[in-house]
Structure 1
């Protein structure tokens, strides 16, 4: 071992010099998933029933509703700030701007396709008019080439180089799990079969974005969905403890997702996958609330009924807490901005219990611009 030590020191020295010499600035992020990352896409979709474009959403940071399902920024927003770039705009907003002005350059900081209420399974909340993750993928794919009505225009679509150098965030599955319990028997699947179907869609999605050029892929686990205040909408659910069966299902999905993430370098040459452990990270805050500044980890800050989990925040009859930053949950389904901030910090610079095999800060710094563009 001793004779190998000098060689190890030399290797580490060369590696650290390499880190210092590469461009550490990732300037673009593409975001897919559900309401945890939706920056306001649903408000542009005609007849979509799941929106948050009304007060008091956005009140703690933006001071007006943006369509985000929280009182301020999401994890994706905080990560954008850590990268030193602007928040990714909703795809639906940019799509409409491009339709009006074909000369408008494509956003250099990426784009957010996430749609509240969507799941990994295409029929999840389908009747609510949400945009499934499969359709989100189609929207992204359509931007890789000029559509027919813009064929002769000067409009710039996504360059392959930007895709190759971007971070890709995917968070989905929570709505699938909740629907499984809200509508028992509707899926006609066992829990195991249902979760396998979800994981199959995640693999399919990842394969596609890799084919389109994605190389830095971050997949986020499900959080403690059995603890959300909205669980009271499910018949017979306790208010004094989390719904264990739902958390068990989330844990089963998360274990499969982590195995898949760790297989990404083998499955997709040149790619790296990160596993964001939302469940474990969130539970750490819930287990030690005072240490992280939380006075309430059970009730929603905004809503009504038991746990403030029966009525959506902002609808007629809602009530709101005085100090949203002291609440783990903002509304019946979603964390507060403070919770998102803590999770984002953990994913940016945390340890392997929060994000693995490396954190986002490390991933950004090991980016090597000499990698061939596919």
Structure 2
């Protein structure tokens, strides 16, 4: 379960936010919301190309198709209601830093500050396109977490003691500060749109540094396999057999939090930011 799915559940919309490209998508799914997310993508135009995933631009194009499908199924009034009252959650950026910048070294001429600025530029442009072309009126932008402290980045860049990677976190902090400012600027430019930048960096860092305060025993290793590097399909029925109990772990694999952690994070975001959009 992803953070956005937990947020949808917290809002009482539905437990599972289906993928727009799912072949099993039903009319009711369209009307109550879908996900356009593509794992591994990002705001840096190089990221989806390197990872062979769906770009943010293509996701925006799919949203245009989605509106037409909703219009055909439920009429213009439903589309208007969706645009005016629906919450558009945006969550990306971590893979740009972890994969494109550090692992693949695909931006050799960028230092930490300039790469953060590049991401801010493309992220803000995406938000503006969503407002102008998409018609979104309530936008919740999820900031970048302390990516340098997730288990995989500790393993690859944290030295022999697997400490947090300062470089990863430096970009995350600069990105969050820059994008928060740009969101305020966009809010002034589009007064009819409600924009909220949801800063999860400090809260998630506290969960990582003080796991016991949140009911976790382990926050530096993933639950499946060795907990050091396994992600995605490497966490399967065999490698996850050693994962017991899952509730002790902040991270499921070496990159993604567990469902329990996502729910705690979703509650924080709902109480701190989402309520502002719902007023």
Instruction: Identify the TM-score tier after normalising by the shorter chain.
Output: 0.7 to 0.9
Give, in angstroms, the shift of residue 246 of structure 1.
0.8
1:226-241 matched pairs, under 5 angstroms: 226-231=148-153, 234=156, 237-241=159-163
Q: Give the Cα separation in 1 of the matches to 2:205 and 2:158.
A: 24
For structure 2, which runs of at least 5 residues remain unmatched after alignment?
A: none
Give, in angstroms, the shift of residue 296 of structure 1.
0.5
For 1:80, the equivalent position in structure 2 comes to 8
Q: Give the Cα separation in 1 of the matches to 2:29 and 2:263.
A: 28
Q: Does 1:263 align with 2:192?
A: no
The structure richer in helix per residue is 2
Q: Does 1:124 align with 2:124?
A: no
1:83-122 matched pairs, under 5 angstroms: 83-86=11-14, 87-93=16-22, 96-97=23-24, 104=27, 107-122=30-45
Give, in angstroms, the shift of residue 318 of structure 1.
5.8
Contact 1:228 1:333 in 2 (8 A): yes
Residue correspondences, number: 272
The structure-2 alpha-carbon separation of the partners of 1:261 and 1:186, relative to structure 1 and needing over 3 Å to count, comes to closer
Contact 1:232 1:238 in 2 (8 A): no
Give, in angstroms, the shift of residue 313 of structure 1.
1.3
Q: Does 1:201 align with 2:122?
A: yes
Give, in angstroms, the shift of residue 106 of structure 1.
6.4
Give, in angstroms, the shift of residue 288 of structure 1.
2.2
The structure-2 alpha-carbon separation of the partners of 1:127 and 1:362, relative to structure 1 and needing over 3 Å to count, comes to closer
For 2:85, the equivalent position in structure 1 comes to 165
Q: What is the Cα-based RMSD across aligned positions, in Å? A: 2.6
Q: Does 1:174 align with 2:94?
A: yes
Q: Give the Cα separation in 2 of the matches to 1:162 and 1:270.
A: 15
For 2:63, the equivalent position in structure 1 comes to 140
Q: Does 1:291 align with 2:213?
A: yes
Q: Does 1:361 align with 2:275?
A: yes
TM-score by length of 2: 0.87
Q: Give the Cα separation in 2 of the matches to 1:145 and 1:237.
A: 51
Which segment is superposed worse, 78-87 or 215-224?
78-87
For structure 1, which runs of at least 5 residues remain unmatched after alignment?
A: 1-72, 147-152, 351-358, 367-374
Give, in angstroms, the shift of residue 320 of structure 1.
3.1
Give, in angstroms, the shift of residue 241 of structure 1.
0.8
Give, in angstroms, the shift of residue 97 of structure 1.
5.0
Give, in angstroms, the shift of residue 268 of structure 1.
1.2
- Return the match for 1:188 from 84, 99, 109: 109
The structure-2 alpha-carbon separation of the partners of 1:334 and 1:236, relative to structure 1 and needing over 3 Å to count, comes to closer
The structure-2 alpha-carbon separation of the partners of 1:175 and 1:314, relative to structure 1 and needing over 3 Å to count, comes to same
TM-score by length of 1: 0.66
The structure-2 alpha-carbon separation of the partners of 1:109 and 1:220, relative to structure 1 and needing over 3 Å to count, comes to same
For 1:300, the equivalent position in structure 2 comes to 222
